[in-house]
Homo-oligomer: A and B are copies of this chain.
Amino acid sequence: MNFQKVAERLGITQERLEGLQETILKRASWPEPRLMRFEKAISGIESGTAIFESNEIVFGYPKIRRAMMLGPALKRHFRNRVVVEEKMNGYNIRLASVAGEVVALTRGGFICPFSTEVANRLIPNEVFEENPMIVLCGEIVGPENPYVPKGIYPTNDIDFYLFDLSKKNCRGTLGPNKTHQFAEDYGIKAAALFGEFRIKNAYEKIMGLVKQLGRRGREGVVIKDPDNERSPMKYTTSETNCHDLEIAFRYYNDYALDFFLSRAVREGFQSVEWAESAEDRLARARRLGESILLPLVETIQQKKNNEQIVQQVQIRVKSLQTAREFEYHLRRSGLRAIFDEPEPDDDGYIIRISRLIMSTNDKTQSLLEGSPW
C-alpha cells in the first residue's frame, strides 16, 4: 500500500494515517483481496471505509440520521423539494470491483463471502465492466437473508436493491437522480421511488406513505435532497419500531440499551405528531406493550423448557465453498452459529443456520435458577 497516495485520497496526512494502524485501521487479510478497514469513524472518514492493496478506497456509507418530528425536521433540514424513497429492511452492502473481482463489503468494511456470491449472481457484468470505479450501495433483503430475514418483499429467496452510488477513492455519494437512472440503464432493482415533493406538501405526502407502508409491514422512507446537497434523513413506521422491539426483547441481553429507549421514544413522537385520538393512542400503547412483553415471555418460557435461544435463518448458495467461508465470516464477526448439513436444491444448496444468542441464553438461564438481577 502506498501510504502517501492513500492518505491524500482520504484527505489526511501520511503521518496521521500511519498512526492509525492497528488502533483504528485494522487489517483484514481474508478473503482476498486484502484490505485495511476503519473500525471507527475519524476525521470525517466513515467507519467501514476499506483501503485495498491497490490503494483503492471504498468509503463507508454515511449514517442516515432519523427524523423524530417529521414536519419540523423536513423544514429544518431540506430546501425546496425532497425525493422520497422506500427504506428497505435488510442489511447494507457496498459492491465494488477490486483487482478484477466484484466484492461485497459489509458496513464494518469486511468482505462478506455470502453477499459477494449473491451480488455476483444478481448484478450484470456490464455494470462494473463499463463503470470500473462505481460503488453500488444497496440493501440485501428477502427471507433467505442471514441477518434480517423478511418475507415482505417480492422475492422467495434474496434480492438486492440499489439505494445510492458512489465512486472509489471519492467521498460522497451520487444521489437519487443518478442512482435511479443508473438502475434503469442496467436493469438493477432500486429502492422504490415514491416521487419528488415540494417541502410544503411533503409532510402530508410522507405521512400517507408511511401509514401505507406500515400496513404492508414495510420499514419506512428515506428522504433525500434531489440535488444531493443535503444529507438524507430516514423515518420509519410504527410497525417497524414495534417489530424491532420484538426482536430486541426476544434477545434482550444481546442488544445495546439505547435500542430499547430510542424505539419507545419514536412511538411517543409519532403519536404526538399524528395527533392521534385517545383510542388510537391506546391501541399504539398496547401494540408497544405486546411487542415488549410477549417476546420476553417466549424467551423465558423457551429457556424454562430447556431449549436454546436461537435465531433460525437459512441461506441459499451456489457453491459449498461460499457456505464454508460464510461460516468463518460469521465467526470473525463475533457471532456463534451452527450450520446444518447443506441440502441440494436446484443448482445449489439450502443451508439452515442457528444463530446462538449467547448472552440472553446465559442470563435467562441464570435468572431462572434464582440469580438476582
Residues of chain A touching chain B, judged by Cβ–Cβ distance below 8 Å, are 65-69, 71-77, 233, 249, 252, 257-258, 260-262, 264-269, 271-272, 281-282, 284-290, 292-294, 296-297, 299-301, 304, 367-373
Contact = CB atoms under 8 A, between A and B. Distances in A.
A232 B369 CA distance: 18
Nearest to A363: B265
A76 B282 CA distance: 41
B372 A65 contact: yes
A291 to B, nearest CB: 8
Nearest to A286: B286
Contact of A252 (B233, B261, B292): B261
A268 B300 contact: yes
| Interface SS, A side | helix
Contacts of A299: 268
Nearest to A367: B68
Contacts of A260: 257, 260-261, 264
Contacts of A284: 289, 293
Contacts of A75: 370
- Per assembly, the copies of the chain total 2
A366 B347 CA distance: 55
Given A271-B293, A271-B297, A272-B304, 14 more contacts: A76-B371, A252-B264, A257-B257, A260-B264, A264-B292, A265-B373, A268-B300, A272-B301, A281-B294, A285-B286, A285-B289, A285-B290, A285-B294, A289-B290
A362 B257 CA distance: 21
A293 B268 contact: yes
B264 A296 contact: yes
26 contacts: A65-B373, A66-B372, A67-B372, A68-B371, A68-B373, A69-B368, A69-B369, A72-B368, A73-B372, A76-B370, A249-B264, A257-B260, A260-B264, A265-B373, A267-B296, A268-B293, A271-B296, A282-B290, A284-B293, A285-B286, A285-B290, A286-B286, A286-B289, A288-B289, A288-B292, A289-B289
A77 B67 CA distance: 48
Given A264-B249, A289-B287, A304-B272, A370 B296 contact: no
Contact of A281 (B271, B293, B304): B293
A370 B77 contact: yes
Contact of A288 (B233, B271, B293, B367): B293
A371 B68 CA distance: 7
A260 B265 CA distance: 12
Contacts of A72: 368-370
The 7 lowest CB-CB distance pairs between A and B, nearest first, are: A289-B289, A268-B296, A72-B370, A65-B372, A257-B257, A76-B370, A73-B370
Contacts of A369: 69, 72, 76
Contact of A74 (B266, B301, B304, B370): B370
Contacts of A76: 369-371
A363 B265 CA distance: 11
A346 to B, nearest CB: 42
Nearest to A64: B372
A199 to B, nearest CB: 12
Contacts of A66: 372-373
Nearest to A304: B272
A49 to B, nearest CB: 22
A297 B280 CA distance: 13
